[in-house]
Structure 1
Amino acid sequence: MTLRLKINLIVGAVTLLSLLAVLGLQLRSMRDSVREEVEAANRVAAQLLNRTVWLYAAQGTPALLSFLQDTGRIRSNDITLLDKEGRVLYSSPPPTYKAGRDAPEWFEALIAPAPTAQSIDFPDGKIEVRANASRAALDAWDYAVVLVGGALALLVVVNLLVAWMVGRTVRPFGQIVGALEQVQRGRFDVALPPLPGHEAGTIGAAFNRMVGELSHHIETERRAVRAEMQLSDSRDLTRWIDHHIEQERLTIARELHDELGQSVTAMRSMATSIAQRSTGKDMQAEQAARLIADECSRLYDAMHGIIPRLTPLVLDNFGLADAITDLAERTRRSHPALVLEAEVALGDARLPADAALALYRAAQEGITNALRHGEAARITLRLAGTPGAVALLLRDDGRGLPEGEPQHRHAGHYGLRWLRERVAALHGSVTLENLPTRGAQLAVRLPLEPEDT
C-alpha cells in the first residue's frame, strides 16, 4: 500500500467519522424536535376539543359532527368520533401536506415518539384524539436526505482535495526512492535536485551528503585495497629478494668455508712445513714461512668469523636451538666481560626455514645493537616455542633507546627495519622498547601455521 493511499484512507476515515458524528447529533436533534412538535400539537388539540366539545355536544351529536367536519384535520393528530355503541361517526381526513409520501418505516420508528391517545367522553359518545407523527417524520426525512447528500458530497470533495494535495506533497519522495534504487544498483554518482517542501528538501540534502560520503569511503576503501595489494606485492618481492640474498650469502659462506678455507689451510700447512725444513739452515726463510703461517691462521680465523655473519651454517646443519647456543658461545668468547644468559626451549615446535632464519637474525641483531650501541654488560636471551607460535625475548642493561625518539631512529635502525619487514612478511610482530629501570627489550613473535606445527 502506497503512502498516498494510506493518507487518503486515513483522511477519508476521519472525515467519515466526523460526518457520522454530525449526523448522529442531527438525528438526535430531529427526534427531539419531532417529539416536541407532536406532543405540543396533541396537547393543543386536546385542550381545544375539550373546551368546545361540550358546547356542541349540548346541541346534539349532529352539531358536534358538523363542527368536526368544518374543522377538518388538526396536524399531527387523528380525531375519531364514536357514538354510545362505539360506532365510528367521524374520522379525520388524510393529510394534504406532502400527500402521497411517507418517510421510511424504519426512519419513522427511529425518530417518532411513542403513540399517545386522549379520550373526551360526553353523554352521546366520545371523541378520541391520537398523535400522528408521519408528517413531522417526513419533514425530518427530507432534511436528513439533504444533509446526508451534502455530507457525501463534502466527503468526496475533501478526499479529492486531499488526494491532490498529498500527491503533490509526496511526488518528491518518488524521486528519492528512484535515487535510492540507483544507489542499490551500484551507482554512487546520483544527486537529487533541490526538492520542494521542507521535509523533502531536507531528505534530499541528506541523501546527497550520504552519497558523497559513501563515494568518498568507497574510494578510500578501493585505495586501501590497492595499497594492500601493493604492500602484499612488496612483501612478496622483499621475501623473494631476501631469499636470494640468503642464497647468495650461503653460497659465499660455503665457498669461503670449502674453497678458501681449504686453500688457506693448505697455505698454512705448506708455510709451516717450509719453516720446519728451514730451521737451522735459512733463518730468513724460516721467519718468512712462519710469518706466512701466522697470517694464514689469522686469515682463517677472520674467515670463520665472517661466515656466521654471512649465514649460520650451523642453522642449516643442526637447527635453531644449536644455532642460538653457538651464537651465544661465540659472543661470550669475543666479549669476555659480557654476562650472556641464553635459554632455549622450543619444545615440539617445528619451524620452517624462513621462520628459523628470521629468529636467528633477530637474536644476532639484538645482541649486536645491545653491545655496539647500548654498551650492555648483561644480556638475557630466551627463545620459547609452543605448537602455535615461537617467541624470542632479548633484554639488556645498556643505555636503552634515546628518550623521545621513535624506534626506527635508534642506532642500527637499518637492521631493525630489515628485521621488521622480514617478520611482517611472516605475519609476526616486533617490539622494541625501554625497560622500566635500565636497558631495552626486543620481543619477536612468529605464529606457526597448523601444518608447520
Structure 2
Amino acid sequence: MTLRSRINLIVASLTLLFVAAIVVLQLRSMRESVHEEVVAANLVATQLLQRNAMLYGAQGIPAILAYLQGVGRVRSNDIVLYDDQGKVLYRSPPSRYKAGRDAPDWFDALITPPPSVQAIAFPGGRLVTETNASRAAIDAWDYMTVLCGGAAVMLVVVNALVFWLVGRTARPFAQIAAALDEVEAGRLDGALPPLPGTEARMIGAAFNRMVARLRANLETERRLADNRELNRWLEAELEQERRRIARELHDELGQSVTAMHSMAVSITQRTQGVDPQAEQAARLIADESARLYEAMHGIVPRLAPLVLDRLGLADALADLVERTRRSQPALAIELDMRLGEAPLDGDTALALYRGAQEAVTNALRHGQATHIRIALDRVGDTVTLTVTDDGRGLPAEAAPAAGHHGLRWLAERAEGLGGQVKVSNRAGGGVELRMELSAR
C-alpha cells in the first residue's frame, strides 16, 4: 500500500469515527427528546381526560362521546372509548402529520419509550389512553436520514480532498525516489530541482549536497588510487600536523592548565577558613584543571607519540603499554622487544608504533580481548612487529582488513616503506597482526 493510500485510509477512518460519534450522540439526544415529549403529552392528556371524563360521564355516554369527537386527536396519544361490555364506541382519528409514513421498526424501538396505557373508569364505560410516538419517531427518522446523508457526502468530499492534497504533496517524493535509484545505479550526474513544500525542498537540497559530496569523494579516491606518492605525502603531512597539534597541546595548553591549577591551589590555601565561597570556587577550578590536564595527556599520545621523537621506539611502546594498563585495569598486556643497538629510521619507527597502537585499539574495541602480547624483533635488516590477542577474532567470511580504514592505511604505509601487514585469526582464538618492515 502506498503512503498516499495509507494516509487517505487513516483520514477516512478518523472521519468515519467522528461521524459515528456524532450519530450516536444525536440518537441519544433524539431518544431523550422523544421520551420527554411522549411522557409530557401523555401526562397532559391523562389529566385533561380525567378531569372531563367524570363531568361528561355523569351525563351519559352520548355526552362524553360528543366531547371526544370535539377534542379529536391528542398528540402522541391514542384515545379509545369502551362501554360496559367492552365494545369500542370511539377511537381517536389517525394523525394527518406525515400520514402514510412510519419509521423503520428497529429505529422506532431504538428511540421510543415503552407504551404507557392509562384507563379512566366512569359510569357506563371506561376511557383508555395509550402513548403513540410514531410521529415523533418519523420526525427523528427524517432528521437522521438528512444527517447521515450529509455525513456521507462530507465523508466523500473530505476523503477526495485529502486524496488530492496528499497526492499533490507527495508528488515530489516520487522524484526523490527516482533520483535515489539513479544514485544506486551509479549515476551521480543528476540533481533535483527545487521541490515544492518545505520538507521536500529540504530533502532535495540535502540530496543534492550528498551527490555533490559523493562526486567529490569519488574523484578524490580516484586521484589517491592513481597516485600512491600523493598518499604518502598526505600521510606525512597528517603526521606532521598531528605532531604540531600535540606539541602545542603539550607545551602551550599544558603550561596554561598547570599554571591555572597552581593559581587555584594557591587561592584555595589563602582563602581557607577566610572566604568559604572563594575557597570552594578555587577548589572547583583546581579539580577541573587537573581533570583537563589528565584528559589532555590522554589525547596527546593518540595524536602523535611525542615520546617516540624524544626517547625512541622502545620507550614509546613501553609508554603505550603503561597507558593501556592504567585505562584497562582488567587487561593483561605484555611487551617483548629485541631491537638491538642500531637505531631505526623515523618513518619505520612511526609505522611500527602506529601498528601496535592500531592492533591494541582493535583488540579492545572489537575483540573484547583480556590478554594482549606485543613482540618486536629485529633480525638483520628486517623488523617484525607481532601483536596477538585472545579476543573474538575476525569474521570468517570477511577479509582481514575489508572496510577497516585504520588497517588499510596501515597496510599502505607499510607498502610505502617496502614492507607488509598481515592480519589473521589465531588457531587458539583471537587475532594476530604481523607487520614486517625493512630496517633502514
TM-score per shorter chain, which class? 0.5 to 0.7
What is the CA-CA distance between 1:214 and the residue it aligns to? 1.2
What is the CA-CA distance between 1:421 and the residue it aligns to? 9.3
Query: What SS does the aligned partner of 2:89 have?
Result: strand
Q: Distance in 1 between matches of 2:191 and 2:71?
A: 87
Amino acid at match of 2:71: T
Do 1:34 and 1:137's aligned partners in 2 also have CA atoms closer than 8 Å? yes
1:4 pairs with 2:9: no
Give deviations 1:356-406, integer Å, cap 9, x for gaps. xxxxxx999969xxxxxxxxxxxxxx9756xxx96379xxxxxxxxxxxxx
Sort the Cα spacing of 1:123 and 1:392 in 2 relative to 1 into closer, same or farther, 3 A: closer
What residue in structure 2 maps to residue 260 of structure 1? none
What residue in structure 2 maps to residue 174 of structure 1? 174
What residue in structure 2 maps to residue 113 of structure 1? 113
What residue in structure 1 maps to residue 26 of structure 2? 26
Q: Distance in 2 between matches of 1:383 and 1:26?
A: 92
Larger Rg computed on CA atoms: 1
Name structure 1 gaps, 5 residues minimum: 233-361, 368-381, 394-419, 430-443, 449-453
Amino acid at match of 1:204: G
Query: What SS does the aligned partner of 1:78 have?
Result: strand
Q: Distance in 2 between matches of 1:4 and 1:174?
A: 11
Sort the Cα spacing of 1:364 and 1:88 in 2 relative to 1 into closer, same or farther, 3 A: closer
What residue in structure 1 maps to residue 436 of structure 2? 446
Q: Distance in 2 between matches of 1:392 and 1:27?
A: 90
Amino acid at match of 1:17: L
Do 1:83 and 1:89's aligned partners in 2 also have CA atoms closer than 8 Å? yes
Q: Distance in 1 between matches of 2:86 and 2:414?
A: 130
Query: What SS does the aligned partner of 1:103 have?
Result: coil
Query: What SS does the aligned partner of 2:417 have?
Result: helix
Query: What SS does the aligned partner of 1:45 have?
Result: helix
What residue in structure 2 maps to residue 427 of structure 1? 420
Do 1:76 and 1:134's aligned partners in 2 also have CA atoms closer than 8 Å? yes
Amino acid at match of 1:100: G
Amino acid at match of 1:169: T
What is the CA-CA distance between 1:428 and the residue it aligns to? 6.8
What residue in structure 2 maps to residue 405 of structure 1? none
Do 1:117 and 1:131's aligned partners in 2 also have CA atoms closer than 8 Å? yes
Do 1:4 and 1:170's aligned partners in 2 also have CA atoms closer than 8 Å? yes
What residue in structure 1 maps to residue 84 of structure 2? 84
Do 1:65 and 1:90's aligned partners in 2 also have CA atoms closer than 8 Å? yes
Identity %: 55
Sort the Cα spacing of 1:223 and 1:119 in 2 relative to 1 into closer, same or farther, 3 A: same
What is the CA-CA distance between 1:132 and the residue it aligns to? 0.4
What is the CA-CA distance between 1:194 and the residue it aligns to? 0.8
1:201 pairs with 2:193: no
Do 1:78 and 1:91's aligned partners in 2 also have CA atoms closer than 8 Å? yes
Sort the Cα spacing of 1:46 and 1:425 in 2 relative to 1 into closer, same or farther, 3 A: same
Query: What SS does the aligned partner of 1:213 have?
Result: helix
Sort the Cα spacing of 1:446 and 1:62 in 2 relative to 1 into closer, same or farther, 3 A: same
Q: Distance in 1 between matches of 2:150 and 2:378?
A: 95
What is the CA-CA distance between 1:422 and the residue it aligns to? 9.2
1:38 pairs with 2:38: yes
1:132 pairs with 2:132: yes
Q: Distance in 2 between matches of 1:74 and 1:168?
A: 60
Query: What SS does the aligned partner of 1:425 have?
Result: coil
Q: Distance in 2 between matches of 1:68 and 1:421?
A: 120
Alignment of 1:304-343 (within 5 A): none
Q: Distance in 2 between matches of 1:86 and 1:47?
A: 23
Give deviations 1:211-256, integer Å, cap 9, x for gaps. 1111111222222222359999xxxxxxxxxxxxxxxxxxxxxxxx
Q: Distance in 2 between matches of 1:220 and 1:78?
A: 97
1:391 pairs with 2:391: no
Q: Distance in 1 between matches of 2:435 and 2:156?
A: 80
What is the CA-CA distance between 1:197 and the residue it aligns to? 1.2
Do 1:179 and 1:192's aligned partners in 2 also have CA atoms closer than 8 Å? yes
Q: Distance in 2 between matches of 1:392 and 1:204?
A: 52
Do 1:423 and 1:446's aligned partners in 2 also have CA atoms closer than 8 Å? no
TM-score, structure 2 normalization: 0.54
Sort the Cα spacing of 1:133 and 1:383 in 2 relative to 1 into closer, same or farther, 3 A: closer
Alignment of 1:36-435 (within 5 A): 36-228=36-228, 391=383, 424-427=417-420
Q: Distance in 1 between matches of 2:186 and 2:90?
A: 95
Amino acid at match of 2:141: W
